[in-house]
Amino acid sequence: MKNIIVIAGPTGVGKTKLSVQLAKLIDAEIINADSMQVYKNLNIGTAKIKDDEKENIVHHLFDIVDINDIYTIFDYQKDCRKEIEKILKKGKKVILVGGSGLYIRSALYDYKFEKENIKNSYDDKTNAELLEIVKKIEPNTTIHINNRKRLIRFLQKKDNNQEIRIFAEPIYDFDIIGLTTDREKLYDIIDNRVDKMIDDGLIEEVKRLYDKKINSKAINTGIGYKELYKYFDGDVSLTEAISLIKRNSRRYAKRQYTFFNHQFSIKWFETDYQNFSNTINEVYDYLMR
């Protein structure tokens, strides 16, 4: 068995559950590879693992970033490689789990970033000039000319997340497996999961952030957060906001499938929701080949 295992796949398919059970079998520690679960105070909407679900398995890179901070792919690359080396030195295996494909590639492949952690303040630009630059990157932007903070945040995000080279070679030896299921079944699971998030207090979680006037990159990009902010702003009804969360989650799952199929040589496993131990055993047998 290789020392690094990646568990990938679309949102809601069972990656977290598999990672914990597999870690118990192979004496591994888990590293988060979800771009939203690095943020503190984003729990329900990101489906972040709860303490009682970890089953005494050590987890890394969860809740490490303040919600107001900008965390880049370059930051993740450094942090993830540091954790990988620490775990391997203990003689343990590494399980990298999540649905953020660029995070996974940046950590495991020899990507070089031309610009590292740029923090251009854009103080020398007027709002009109900022908007003009933004429109060159995103012609259909909806950011208002008077919303200077969002204009700058958009540009800083682009500065800090430079395109990474597709032809980069891996720097680690790893196996990558993916969980999948029938597309319509997955969409039903996603819709039901959103309903459960609402029951578990997602609206209250987002309202606390909204009342604190937090309007950061994490909020503006996070599914479940940006839609409910629209509700609190009075732009949509609660029913419409929930519908948007479900729609955007389904679309995100579709993009995840596309990315993983095009960017990785991935071994897919059908999730057995009736008897999840079958899925665990299939994956374990494959890794032990």
Q: Where are the alpha helices (DSSP H) in the chain?
A: 15-26, 73-89, 101-108, 127-137, 148-160, 183-200, 202-211, 217-221, 226-233, 238-263, 276-287
Residue range 4-114+162-287, CATH number = 3.40.50.300
Lowest mean pLDDT among 45-54, 81-90, 255-264: 255-264
pTM: predicted TM-score of the whole model, two decimal places: 0.82
Residue 90's pLDDT band, with cuts at 50, 70 and 90, is: very high
Task: Please report, as a single letter, which amino acid is at residue 76.
Answer: Y
pLDDT digit string, tens, across residues 231-243: 999 999 999 999 9
Angle made by CA atoms 74, 79, 80, in degrees to the nearest 5: 100
**No. of H helices and E strands in the chain?**
11, 6
Enter the tokens of residue 102: 């660029």
pLDDT digit string, tens, across residues 22-47: 999 999 999 999 999 999 999 999 99
Asked whether the predicted pLDDT for residue 163 surpasses 50, the reply is: no
Residue pair 193/12 in contact (Cβ under 8 Å)? The answer is yes
Strands of the 59-60 sheet, one edge to the other: 59-60, 28-32, 93-97, 4-8, 174-180, 267-270
pLDDT digit string, tens, across residues 126-137: 888 889 888 877
Q: How far apart are CA 223 and CA 230, in angstroms?
A: 12
Residue pair 83/61 in contact (Cβ under 8 Å)? The answer is yes
